[in-house]
Amino acid sequence: MTQPAAHRRASIADVARAAGVSVGTVSNVLNRPERVLPGTRERVEAAIEELSFVRNGSARQLRAGTITTIGAIVLDIANPFFTDVARGIEERLDRDDFTLMVASSDDDPDREQRYLRLFEEHGVQGVMVVPATNNIEHLLAVRRRGTGVVLLDQPSSDPSISSVAVDDVRGGELAAHHLLDEGHTRIVFLNGPHTIRQCADRHEGVVKALAAAGLDPATALVEITVTSLNAEGGEAAIRGLLESGDRPTAVFCVNDLVALGVLRTLRTENIAVPTDMAVVGYDDVAFAAELSTPLTSVRQPTHELGVRAADLLLSGPDSAAEHVMFQPTLVVRGSSSTVAG
């Protein structure tokens, strides 16, 4: 029979007492059972069962030092891009029996800091971060104090911190270049705040493409900052745009969720895509190809991104920092081109 709910959790000492052995022996049963005589071991195991003993992880870790956990802090856990990356991380971590904890900063530097601190104080082996700002001073500090740090989806501005990223300038360029090729001369870019590096870079890419085409970004580019990087943000932004009477012929969205919101709105407003308005997204999430107007999007190697990031973190704190940069590709579909499949 089980005990009535005891107020204090049973400790190793309680188990030792119940089994009539010393604490050292209980610890051995837990960690190196082969060093304990089968009879003794059984008695200890019975006591553990009886007292429903659970190791105190804090004490264990305090004494033993290490823990095989790594933390990941992403901007938005509901964004398929990040969860695809997380799957990649998990896959790699599993091979080494590491454990992954995911937290979401919600683009908020304070939340990022809070989770970072939590992970660090609890001695995770390393942490992967998609920084909410382009100031990574606090991450450098973490790194200096001995916790592994890998920047996710963000090229490192510091040689001592590894990073795994995708060329966002190139991504913005690909998207804009494509829209210009399709004959558009003015692009509306529904972007996130430039404090998010990806957003700033994609913007830079767009400007670059416009300049290369001999257009003046000051007139050929309208950048609108969405309130949130999801479908609701996209819907609100495009709605505001339409209500202002300024109807562009081409919209580039900083991610596919925003594009989803745009497409949804255009459909209810009976604006034809791509003939009245072309739309390009970013991330090429799973459903992009299956939308009513298949979405042209910039594809990033999400899974591979996660795997490489985990690789770098597991390679240990002593190996040199590496900076991996993947290249995005443009997948043209019906939302931006009448000739696309």
Question: Nearer Cβ to its own copies, position 138 or 186?
Answer: 138
Q: Candidates 63, 97, 145, 216: give the one binding DNA (CB under 7 A).
A: 63
Nearest CA among 36, 10, 9 for reference residue 25? 36
Question: Nearer Cβ to its own copies, position 100 or 169?
Answer: 100
CB of 250 to its own copies, least distance (A): 19
Question: Nearer Cβ to DNA, position 11 or 329?
Answer: 11
Nearest CA among 109, 148, 160 for reference residue 130? 109
CA distance 1 to 259: 58
Question: Nearer Cβ to DNA, position 43 or 202?
Answer: 43
Which of DNA, its own copies, none sits in contact with 115, Cβ below 5 to 8 A by type? Answer: its own copies
User: What single-letter amino acid sits at 297?
Assistant: S
CA distance 50 to 38: 18
Question: Nearer Cβ to its own copies, position 133 or 293?
Answer: 293
Q: String of b and e for 164-182 (b: at least 16 CB within 10 Å)?
A: bbbbbbbbbbbbbbbbbeb
Q: Candidates 6, 13, 286, 325: give the one binding DNA (CB under 7 A).
A: 13
52 part of the interface to DNA, by CB under 7 A: no
Tell me which residues touch its own copies (CB under 8 A): 2, 5, 9, 52, 54-62, 69, 77-78, 80, 83-84, 86-87, 90, 99-104, 106, 114-115, 117-118, 120-123, 141, 144-146, 230-231, 257, 260, 263-264, 267, 286-287, 289-294
Token digits of residue 54: 């659970």
CA distances 147 to 70, 117, 133, 141, 211, Å, are 10, 11, 20, 9, 42
